[in-house]
Amino acid sequence: MSQQVIVLDKVELTRLMKHYEQNEIVRNAPGVVFAAKLHDTAITVYKSGKVLFQGAGSSREASGWSQAGLTSPTAKIQANSKGDSLPSGLANLSVVGSDETGTGDFFGPVTVAACFVSKKQIELVKELGVKDSKQLTDDWMRQIAPDLKETLLHSVLTLKNDKYNEVQERGWSQGKIKALLHNQALKLVLRKMGDEKPEYILIDQFAERGIYYNHLKAAPEIVRENVLFSTKAEGLHVAVAAASIIARVAFLEEMDRLSSLTGFQLPKGAGPKVDEAAARILLSQGENTLKSLSKWHFANREKAMKIAARKKK
């Protein structure tokens, strides 16, 4: 079994224990002040300041902590993003990335995509025009998504509004909906990969690891191996950026379809324009139609109803 030992000072130790707080376990061994268990790593902190990491994830977990007496951290930690401490050189490894879109939009689905980018494909994917998707326009993403889908093993899931509203009314939070969709998309990509395995799976983080896996408790198959979470992950590996683009374009395509049903372009987001459009649909096509196009629990519903009532008078 692989293991790593590092020595930390008090400040760094406190930070580490806080970091693994959610995964704490009781271990009554001599000299042990804290212990935690992740799906692939056991962490033991000793009174001396020594920290022992054991298991498949030990080097991943051990990296990023500043060792006592050393001037530089043992490995580079991504200071600008939240989540796991990341292996150095992550951007150049073979990675399955996943991301979602549509969760903040009143109209339209939630979509999640996962895709695999091998080491060898990284340059090609960049040449196809993949950058941090936050910097890309919808039109550009529509243009490059077909090439990406053709080039990369991927899976994209569209949770349409009827289904979304049904599970939401059953009590599912958006976090749970997202976690289940990410897990499903990842599973499908891994299946398509056959015997090939990614070095890491990188999820654009929307929940802490513990919360994410808690949502998946009842799932029949849970993807756990080599999973990393980070916010702003689309800037950390092109696999997440590509997944983000594929998810976004799936969202846009479903919005196009819904817009053609309503007869006008449905606005994105959840702002005043959305309230107006929703009121227009209420007045012309009624509540059931609006519900079938939207995330019904959003506050936009109430606002639209008020606007519609005012206009009726």
Q: Which stretch binds Mn ion (CB under 5 A): 93-101, 112-120, 259-267, 304-312?
A: 93-101
Minimum distance, C-beta of residue 99 to Mn ion, in the bound complex (Å): 4
CB proximity list for 164: less than 8 A, separation 6 or greater = 109, 110, 177, 295
Q: CB 280 → Mn ion: shortest distance, Å?
A: 30
Nearer to Mn ion, 42 or 90 (CB): 90
Which residue has its beta carbon closest to Mn ion? Answer: 204
| Closest distance to Mn ion from the beta carbon of 11 (Å) | 31
Task: Answer whether 82's CB lies under 8 Å from 230's CB.
Answer: yes
Residue with tokens 């959003």: 298
Residue from 12, 84, 204, 275 in contact with Mn ion (CB under 5 A): 204
Contact stretch for Mn ion (CB under 5 A) within 95-103, 131-139, 274-282, 297-305: 95-103
Q: Does 61 bind Mn ion (CB under 5 A)?
A: no
Q: What is the smallest separation between the CB atom of 100 and Mn ion, expressed in angstroms?
A: 6
Query: In 3-state terms, what secondary structure has residue 231?
Result: coil
Find the part of the chain contacting Mn ion (CB under 5 A) among 69-77, 96-104, 116-124, 220-228. Answer: 96-104
Q: Give 113 or 282: the residue with its C-beta nearer to Mn ion.
A: 113
Exactly one of 99, 105, 254, 275 binds Mn ion (CB under 5 A); which one? 99
For the residues of 40-89, what is the DSSP string, one character each? S-EEEEETTSEEEEESTTHHHHHTT---TT-SS-SS---TTS-BSPPPTT
Tokens of 17: 């224990």
For residue 215, what are the CA distances in angstroms to 127, 173, 212, 304?
Answer: 37, 9, 5, 32
| Residue type for position 98 | S
Structure tokens at 294: 């939207």
Q: How far is the CB of 204 from Mn ion (least distance, A)?
A: 4
Which residue ranges make up the site for Mn ion (CB under 5 A)?
99, 204
